[in-house]
């Protein structure tokens, strides 16, 4: 029986044609071609050739790629004894120009334009039809993509996306670069990384404008599948691994998963990515299951630019991110004060001369050398920073407290140990009626959900207001607000920093800021 092969695949020809030879028969018509190249590259930005790594991060993030795709003998006509009768397509070299844009941190639009820059083929006669191979360059079918990430992010063990492709008939059927109609291809994509292991998979459907045949083989609706797996080396700058993809006919005229209607091929590829976002790839493989378009050999090479998404910036390079740097354009030092953090240190004035020995200027019974507030009467405290200081004082428009108001864990219940500090605030409000209104503000650290922390801070501030009004303070003088974790005054990376961020502040809204009552 005569056979029509695409190298590793066989397309059966009716036995009645077995008597034909190279010079026998006269063709009455010439067959039209189809889109022969079965290599469909992933959207620009992927770390694989045919599969998609689903790096859909960033907003307004572009990627550009140029890929060369060479296929050897993707379409061959054989004699009944297995010898070559005619090579319809001997060589195809495609240049793929591609680009993509990630928007909204999960939505990506892309395009791919294949150009057959070199084609070489012959001709053959089958069942009264001449099959003429291409011998000149031609434009392929333009592909437009849209994909949306449903779950996971790049680098997670599992990321999934849903999308679709539309192929516009910009190519030429007679030159084997187009099917002559619009194709629509919805697909489901998955990818992930587990340690140094990376993988990707795809499942899709290709819907043709109309179903046709080529040498008795249906060309129309197809189920597509693909998978890849590899190793990430050199701090994820090197990816090595195989990719396999294929399709099978699902039209009424064909039969799914039969050998001559299910082309499958694969390649082994290497990709190198630089820190700046440049990526270079080289791979080779062949078709190893029957079907139109599987070549005896395929070689691909690519160059791509896919800049990584921007992370937190540090314009002045002082190691303090711009978001927390009070002087982002001037190198400085880290401080606990949000107004000076990241700013150059100011020259400190010379320290005052030490006070005479055995003095107690504020007459609070604590000698000046160990009194942290030598000019303001206060109480003894084992903390050297608080020893001799009042528990609460009006300062710069606030009632500043020296100890934190403490609550039960994850609760708005005030612990009894905070009675003393709240009593000091109560005395200031009682003894200074000129303080008309105070905003009690609650804050938390960043542990837990932001919405939960917001609610907890509001309840804690309200609990302090209830404590003060229960002791006789007019409710009209107090309001409360919660700000959750949004206004940290210290780092949330340490226990001490988180403790400082869990606080209550008293902001005076109706008094002379110059007053200095204290308790």
Q: Which residues contact 67 (CB under 8 A, 6 or more apart)?
A: 41, 49, 95, 96, 98, 281, 300, 301, 302, 303, 304
The DSSP code sequence of 125-173 is EETTEEEEPP-S-EE--EEEEEEEEEE--TTSS-EEEEEEEEEE--S-T
Lowest mean per-residue pLDDT among 25-29, 154-158, 252-256, 501-505: 25-29
Q: Which positions ≥6 away from 300 have C-beta within 8 Å?
A: 39, 49, 67, 68, 69, 70, 267, 269, 281, 282, 283, 284
pLDDT in tens, 78-108: 666 667 777 888 899 999 999 999 998 899 9
Confidence of residue 22 (pLDDT cuts 50, 70, 90): very low
DSSP 518: B
As a whole number, mean pLDDT of residues 38-53 equals: 94
β partners of residue 183:
167, 208
What pLDDT is recorded for position 48?
96
Do the two domains 3-305 and 390-508 of this chain adopt the same fold?
A: no
Task: Please give the Cα distance from 398 to 139 (Å, whole number).
Answer: 73
DSSP per residue, 34-100: -------PPPTT-SSSSS------SSSEEEEEEEEEEEEEEEEEE-TTS-EEEEEEEEEEEEEEEEE
- C-alpha 200/C-alpha 208 separation (Å) is 26
Question: Does the CA dihedral 499-500-502-506 come out positive or negative?
Answer: positive
Per-residue pLDDT band at 351 (split at 50, 70, 90): confident
Say what the pLDDT of residue 79 is.
Answer: 66
Rounded to an integer, the average pLDDT of 473-492 is 93
**Strand extents, DSSP E, 349-425:** 392-395, 398-401
CA distances for 92 relative to 115, 133, 361, 436, angstroms:
10, 11, 95, 85
pLDDT range class, residue 161, cuts 50, 70, 90: very high
What is the percent of the chain with per-residue pLDDT over 90, rounded to a whole number?
Answer: 51
Please give the residue that has the higher pLDDT: either 136 or 123: 136
CA–CA–CA angle 214, 219, 224 (5° rounding): 140
Strand partners, 129: 29, 126
Predicted local confidence at residue 215, as pLDDT: 56
Q: Fold for domain 390-508?
A: 60s Ribosomal Protein L30; Chain: A; (3.30.1330)
Residue 41: count other Cβ atoms within 10 Å of its Cβ: 22
Closest CA to 6 of 76, 55, 86: 76
Residue 337: is it exposed, middle or buried by C-beta count within 10 angstroms (0-12/13-18/19+)?
exposed
Express each pLDDT in 267-288 by its tens digit.
999 999 998 889 999 999 998 8
pTM: 0.56
pLDDT averaged over every residue in the chain: 84
Q: How far apart are CA 461 and CA 478, in angstroms?
A: 10
- Residue 514 confidence class, pLDDT cut points 50, 70, 90: very low
The answer on pLDDT for 26 being more than 50 is: no
Write the pLDDT tens digit of every residue in 380-431: 888 888 888 888 888 888 988 888 899 998 999 999 998 989 999 999 999 8
8 against 152, higher pLDDT = 152
In eight-state DSSP terms, residue 106 is T
Instruction: Round to whole Å and give the CA distance between 375 and 515.
Output: 16
> Tokens at residue 223, please?
């189920």
pLDDT band for position 254 (50/70/90)?
A: low
Count Cβ neighbours within 10 Å for each residue of 493-519 and write b for 16 or more, e otherwise. Answer: eeeebbebbbbbbbebeebeeeeebbb
8 pLDDT band (50/70/90 cuts)?
Answer: very low
- Looking at residue 513, its pLDDT comes to 45
Backbone angles phi, psi at 191, to 5 degrees: -160, 165
Q: Which of the four pLDDT bands, split at 50, 70 and 90, describes residue 360?
A: confident
Cα dihedral value 98, 103, 107, 108, nearest 10: 0
More confident residue, 279 or 59: 279
Give tens-digit pLDDT for 225-249.
Answer: 999 999 999 989 999 999 999 888 7
Band the pLDDT of 118: cuts 50, 70, 90.
very high
As a CATH number, domain 3-305 is: 2.40.160.40
Closest CA to 208 of 185, 186, 174, 188: 185
In this structure, the strands spanning 478-482 and 438-443 are: parallel
Highest mean pLDDT among 112-116, 233-237, 339-343, 369-373: 112-116
- When mean pLDDT is compared over 120-134, 248-262, 316-330, 492-506, the highest value belongs to 492-506
Per the model's pLDDT, the better-predicted residue between 12 and 325 turns out to be 325
Q: Would you kindly state where each structural domain of the chain is located, as residue ranges?
A: 3-305, 390-508
Q: Give the span between the Cα atoms of 309 and 131, in whole angstroms.
A: 49
Give the number of residues written for the chain: 519
454 contact partners, CB below 8 Å, separation of at least 6: 482, 483, 484, 485
Mean pLDDT, to the nearest integer, of 281-304? 88
The closest alpha carbon to 341, from 366, 364, 322, 313, belongs to 322
């Amino acid at each position: 029986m005569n056979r029509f092969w695409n190298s590793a695949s066989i397309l059966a020809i009716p036995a009645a044609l077995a008597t034909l030879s190279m010079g026998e028969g006269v063709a009455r018509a010439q067959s039209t071609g189809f889109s022969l190249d079965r290599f469909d590259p992933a959207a620009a930005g992927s770390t694989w050739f045919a599969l998609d790594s689903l790096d859909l991060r960033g907003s307004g993030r572009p990627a550009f790629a140029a890929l060369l795709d060479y296929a050897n003998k993707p379409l061959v006509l054989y004699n009944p004894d297995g010898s070559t009768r005619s090579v319809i397509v001997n060589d195809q070299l495609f240049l793929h120009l591609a680009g993509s844009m990630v928007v909204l941190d999960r939505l990506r639009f892309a395009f791919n334009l294949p150009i057959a820059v070199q084609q070489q083929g012959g001709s053959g006669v089958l069942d009264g039809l001449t099959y003429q191979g291409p011998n000149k360059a031609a434009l392929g079918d333009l592909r437009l993509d849209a994909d949306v990430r449903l779950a996971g992010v790049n680098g997670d063990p599992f990321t999934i996306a849903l999308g679709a492709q539309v192929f516009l008939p910009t190519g030429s059927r007679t030159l084997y670069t187009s099917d002559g109609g619009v194709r629509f291809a919805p697909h489901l994509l998955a990818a992930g990384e587990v340690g140094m292991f990376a993988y990707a998979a795809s499942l899709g459907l290709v819907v043709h404008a109309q179903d046709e045949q080529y040498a008795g083989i249906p060309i129309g609706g197809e189920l597509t599948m693909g998978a890849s797996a590899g190793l990430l080396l050199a701090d994820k700058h090197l990816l090595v691994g195989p990719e396999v993809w294929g399709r099978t006919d699902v039209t009424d005229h064909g039969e799914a998963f039969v050998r001559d209607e299910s082309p499958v091929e694969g390649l082994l590829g290497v990709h190198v990515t630089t820190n700046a976002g440049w990526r270079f790839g080289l791979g080779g493989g062949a078709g190893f299951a029957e079907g139109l378009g599987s070549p005896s050999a395929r070689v691909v090479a690519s160059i791509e630019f896919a800049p990584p998404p921007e992370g937190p910036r540090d314009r002045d390079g002082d190691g303090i991110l711009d978001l927390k740097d009070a002087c982002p354009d001037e190198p400085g030092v880290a401080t606990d004060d949000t107004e000076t953090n990241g700013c150059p240190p100011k020259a400190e004035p010379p320290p005052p001369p030490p006070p005479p020995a055995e003095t107690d200027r504020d007459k609070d019974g604590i000698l000046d050398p160990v009194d942290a507030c030598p000019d303001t009467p206060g109480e003894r405290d084992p903390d050297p920073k608080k020893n001799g200081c009042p528990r609460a004082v009006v300062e710069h428009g606030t009632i500043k407290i020296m100890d934190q108001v403490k609550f039960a864990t994850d609760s708005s219940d005030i612990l009894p140990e905070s009675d003393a500090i709240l009593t000091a605030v109560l005395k200031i409000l009682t003894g200074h009626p000129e303080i008309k209104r105070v905003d009690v503000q609650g804050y938390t650290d960043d542990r837990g959900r932001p919405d939960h922390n917001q609610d907890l801070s509001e309840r804690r501030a309200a609990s302090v207001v209830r404590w003060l009004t229960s002791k006789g303070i007019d409710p009209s003088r107090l309001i409360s607000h919660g700000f959750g974790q949004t206004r940290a005054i210290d780092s949330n990376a340490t226990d001490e920093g988180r403790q400082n961020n869990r606080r209550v502040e008293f902001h005076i809204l109706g008094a002379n800021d110059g007053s200095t009552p204290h308790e």
